[in-house]
Structure 1
Amino acid sequence: MCGRYSFVVPAPAVEQRFQAEFSEPTPPTYNAAPSQRLPVITNAAPGQIQLLRWGLVPAWSRDPTGGPKPINARAETLADKPSFRMLLARRRCLVLADGFYEWQATPAGKVPHRILLRDAQPFAFAGLWDEWLDRATGELHPTFTIITTEPNELMAGIHNRMPVILRDRAAEQAWLADGHRLPDYQQLLQPYEAAAMREYVVGKRVNSPANNDAEVLMPAMG
């Protein structure tokens, strides 16, 4: 499960890191949540950072207001589900982030953790995207979902799933490149190296997406 993350890196550093340019001004997000428009790089436009809505609405959906809008897709079963298999072949994306949140179940209740790379650098989740056409207006509505996998050693004590973080720039480029076999794409969907990550407990302000400020990132007191 990955239901909340952050991306607060300044735009010039993001553009240099991912060799892509923002399509529109994008404020930092300390508490990204489903249904928000968030920075993504698609295989169709690898030189552009676009804002897509989080929560996948398939192109074949009759009514985007009804039905499920999956925010996550399991890496292990992508090729088994026709809708995800098509997107794996044709519509892959990088979801840009610098950390994510997960809630650990404890006897005292759920405890939120922030997980990031040890060097605090930005990274990319592996994602899938699609776009739904409103035939009444001709407007396209692009959306995305984040792929998850088994937890690494760091995450195993917090949750039984973790988002797929692509391991390096070469893996990101391979994920965006068209023309590979489905098993080649799936081979990229591995748990990130635990030794290269760190985590800490944050306060419960992160529980509400309405709290979208730097205080959400702060370690919990006490």
Structure 2
Amino acid sequence: MLVSVLDLLSVFIFALTGALTASRAQLDLVGFVFIACLTAMGGGTARDVLLNRDAVFWIADPRYVAVATAAAILVFFTAHRLESRIKTLIWLDALAVSVAVPVGVAVARGMGFDWPVLLIMGMVTACMGGLARDVVCNEVPLVLKARDLYATAALAGAALNVVVYMATSSPLFAALACAIVTFTIRAGSLALGWRAPVYRSTPPRQ
């Protein structure tokens, strides 16, 4: 039940970001729906294929497509009212990532996988949909923005999920801790300039 609620929520929020990207590209309504669905379900689809689940989540339950489509239509008629679509998109994306990470971890845990797979599936679920959205719309992917804490935030949240679950055996506490830490790190990167060290090349020695 927890996974289903979080999954629907992440699909809705990610779909909003996809539709906002479509608005920046000035697509028609069908384009809005396509980009919204690609963003909302891309990460979960990659996760389910990699885990070899019996059925991809949105094929098994068409409600996810309906939720993503509703989000796309909502944005199509209201995006022009936003003062800054890019700022709204970035913050909604941060919220969506924080919800998607615990979903990916929970799905992998429910299938009996060990912690390395849980970490990777948390990141895949959170990052792949946004990556597909930005690539298709010819935007610089948020996940690849230099020094921004995006994948790092997802990894940290997934790791905390694993640790809290080992300590408490509570999927609810683990999911909440994961979501809070993921959003805090991502928000800190956006609002406070938190950065991770990056590789810097040096001239070869003579």
User: If the TM-score is normalised by the length of the shorter chain, which range does it land in?
Assistant: under 0.3
Give TM-score scaled by structure 1 length: 0.26
Structure with the higher fraction of residues in strand conformation: 1
Give TM-score scaled by structure 2 length: 0.28
Structure with the higher fraction of residues in helix conformation: 2
